[in-house]
Amino acid sequence: MDILFCTSEAYPLIKTGGLADVSGSLPAALAQLGHDVRLALPAYPAAVERAGTLHEVSRLRLNGSDSPVRLLRGSLPGGRTPVYLIDAPAFFNRPGNPYLQPDGRDWPDNAARFALFSRACAALGLGVGDRDWRAQVLHCNDWQTGLVPALLSRQSPRPATLFSIHNLAYQGLFPASTFQALNLPDALWSIDGLEFHNQLSFIKGGIANADHVTTVSPTYAREIREESFGYGLEGLLRHRSEQLSGILNGVDLEHWNPATDPLIARRYDMHNLQHKLFNKYTLQRDHALPVSSQPFLLGYIGRLVAQKGVDLLLDIIDQLARQPIQLVVLGSGERRLEQQVLAAATRHPRQVAVSIGYDERLAHRIEAGSDALLMPSRYEPCGLNQMYSQLYGTVPIARRTGGLCDTIVDYNQTTLDSRTATGLCFDDDSAQALLATCLGALRLYREHRVDWWKLVIAGMQQDFSWTQSAARYSALYQSLVRGETPRIGSAPASRPTKPAFDDSRHAGQPIH
C-alpha cells in the first residue's frame, strides 16, 4: 500500500521529542511489511542538510504562499525511507527548534506555517505534487498536520486519512481571526470542524475529520475520553470512540540497543552486564561526580515541562541528596524549571549534575550509565525513555499513567516471583509518592540485589520492537482503504443543525 506519513519532525532530520523517534522508525517498519511509505516534512535547514541529494519534484501553487512551494525529494539517512520536503523558505528556513523562536516563544506565524505544510500534504495526497506517486492513506500526526484531514474531507475522491495523537495537550489553538486570515473553507468553521470555543483548533481538524484516530498507547486512548485528560476534547473523542484506538509505539532497535550503540562508552548485553558499570563510571566522571559503583545513580532525560512532573522531582531533590544517591539530569524547556534544576546541582555538586540543552549522545549515555530512570509524568501518551531504559538494563521509576502503564510491569511479590517485574510505579501525582518509590527502589538496589537484577534482566528481555505495532497500523490502513471504517465527510460537509457532540462545558481551560 502507498502511505504518506505527514509529520513535523523525524529523527535524524530534526527532533524535539518522541514524535521524531516514531516518524524516523515506524515508516521503515511498515516498509518491511511491503508498504511504500514516504515522509512529508517541512524543509527546515537541518532537514535539507541531512536528507541526502534532493531532487525537485514539482512546484505547487498553494493558498497562503505568494511564491510557489517547491516539493523536494530526498531520503532519511541510510536511504531507506523517501522524504518529501515542503520547501517554502519564508516559512521554514529558520534554524533551530521547528516550533519555537530562539527566546523560547512560539513562532508568531505558526498557524500560517503549518497550514501551508498541511495544504502541501493534502495536495500530495490528491496526487497533485508528484505525478508518479499517489498515496492511498495519509497518516497525519499531531496538531501541525491536523488541517490535512479537514481539507481532504471536502474532496472526493480522496485518500483515506488517519490522525495520530501523540500529545493532546498541544492543540494548535489560534484566534478565530486566524481562520479568516488563513483563507480556509467557510464550511470548516463549525463545531464539527475546526471551531473550538470560538477559536481555531488545528488538532480538532484531525480528530473530527480523519477516517480513524489513533493515539500512541491503549491506556492513553482510554484516558483522553475523560475530562481530566481530554483538555475539553473528551466529548468529541467519546463521540468518535468507534474510530479511536491506541497502538503502542515501538523502539528503533538500530539506534537504541546497548549491544550495538556507538554513542555509549562500552557496549553490553545481559550476558556481560559488568560493562554497564563502566558506563556508570564514565557518566560519573564526565559529570564530575565521585566515581563509584556504590551510589544509586538516577537519570532523568526529557523536556523540562509540567507534563513530565519535573517539579515533583525538584521538590524531593534535597531529601534524595541525604541518601547515597546521584542524579544526572538532561533536559530543556521552561526557563524557571531549568533554573531550578541548575540550582539543585549547585546545592549538591557531588550528587546532582545537570545538562541543559539537547544532546542525543548524552541521552544514550544516561540510559546506559544510570541504575534507574525517573519518569514522574503527570500524563504520558506513550513515553519512549522508559522503554529505552529497560532495554539498557536501567530500571524505570514512573508514575502509573498512559503508556507507562502499558510498558512497565510494576514490582510486587507476584511479579517478582514470576520474573515479569520491570520497574517501580506510583499512582499519586505527589512529590511524597515519588520520594517513597525512589526510596523503595534504593532499598531494593542496596539490600536485595538479587531481586534488583531480576528487574534489570526482565527489562532487557522485553520485546519493544515495532513488529507488532507496525502490523496493527498495517491492518488499520488496509481496513481504511477497503472502506470498512466509514469515511468521514467524503462528500462536501453539510451543516448539522445540532452539534453531534457537546464540548460546551469546557470553555477557557489552559492548554499549551
Residues that bind ligand GLC (CB under 6 A): 17-19, 22, 166-167, 216, 249, 380-384, 403
Per-residue buried b or exposed e for 151-165, using 16+ beta carbons within 10 Å of the residue's own CB: bbbbeeebbbbbbbb
**358 contact, one of ligand GLC, ligand ADP, none, CB 5-8 Å limit per kind:** ligand ADP
Nearest alpha-carbon partner for 151 in 481, 476, 493: 493
Give the CB-side neighbour count of residue 19, counting CA atoms within 13 A. Answer: 25
The residue among 235 and 383 lying less far from ligand GLC, judged by its C-beta, is 383
Question: Is residue 172 close enough to count as binding ligand ADP by CB under 6 A?
Answer: no
Residue with smaller CB distance to ligand GLC, 384 or 391: 384
Task: Report the nearest approach of ligand GLC to the CB of residue 301 (Å).
Answer: 13
Q: Provide the edge-to-edge strand list for the sheet that holds 173-175.
A: 173-175, 199-201, 195-196
Strand partners of residue 165:
215
Q: How far is the CB of 404 from ligand ADP (least distance, A)?
A: 10
Q: Which is closer to ligand ADP, CB of 27 or CB of 125? A: 27
Q: Give the nearest distance from C-beta 251 to ligand ADP in angstroms.
A: 10
Q: Is 332 in the site for ligand ADP (CB under 6 A)?
A: yes
Place of cell 480538532: 204
Closest CA to 181 of 98, 124, 109: 109
Grid cell 451543516 in the structure block, residue: 495
In the complex with ligand ADP, which residue's Cβ is closer, 200 or 352?
Answer: 352
**Stretch near ligand ADP under the rule CB under 6 A, chosen from 23-31, 106-114, 143-151, 381-389:** 381-389
Residue 363 vs 395, nearer CB to ligand ADP: 363
Which residue's CB comes closest to ligand ADP? 18
**How far is Cα 28 from Cα 147, in angstroms, rounded to an integer?**
25
Check binding of 74 to ligand ADP (CB under 6 A).
Answer: no
Rounded to whole angstroms, what are the CA distances from 289 to 15, 63, 162, 480? Answer: 29, 56, 48, 54
Sign of CA dihedral 478, 482, 486, 489: positive
- Cβ 168 to ligand ADP, closest distance in Å? 12
Q: Which residue is nearest to ligand GLC (CB)?
A: 18
Cα separation, 329 vs 356, in Å, equals 8
Contact status: 47 vs ligand ADP (CB under 6 A): no
Q: Which of residues 285-304 bind ligand ADP (CB under 6 A)?
A: 301-303
Contact 165, 216 (CB under 8 A): yes
Cα dist. 287→301, 346, 359, 394 in Å?
15, 13, 14, 19
CB 401 within 8 A of CB 378: yes
Q: Cα-atom radius of gyration of the chain, to the nearest Å?
A: 23
301 binds, among ligand GLC, ligand ADP, none (CB under 5 to 8 A by kind): ligand ADP
Q: Residue 446 interacts with ligand ADP (CB under 6 A)?
A: no
Q: Does 384 bind ligand ADP (CB under 6 A)?
A: yes
Site pattern 343..362 for ligand ADP (x: CB under 6 A): ---------------xxx--
**Residue 295 or residue 302: which is nearer to ligand GLC going by CB?**
302
Rounded least distance, CB 448 to ligand GLC, Å: 31
Beta bridge partners of 269: none
Which residues inside 4-33 make contact with ligand ADP, applying CB under 6 A? 17-18, 21
- Which of the choices ligand ADP, ligand GLC, none does residue 216 contact, using the CB cut-off of 5 to 8 A by kind? ligand GLC
Distance of closest approach, residue 216 Cβ to ligand GLC, in angstroms: 4
Q: Give 3-state DSSP helix, strand, coil % of the chain, rounded to 5.
A: 40, 20, 40
Residue listed under C-alpha cell 498557524 = 111
Minimum distance, C-beta of residue 502 to ligand ADP, in the bound complex (Å): 30
- C-alpha span between 432 and 320 (Å, rounded): 11
Query: Which residues, including other chains, have CB under 8 Å from residue 335's CB and lie 6 or more apart?
Result: 104
Region near ligand ADP per CB under 6 A, out of 177-185, 327-335, 405-413, 440-448: 327-335
Shortest distance in whole angstroms from residue 22 CB to ligand ADP: 8
By the rule CB under 6 A, 133 interacts with ligand ADP = no
Q: List contacts with ligand ADP (CB under 6 A).
A: 17-18, 21, 301-303, 330-332, 358-360, 363, 382-385
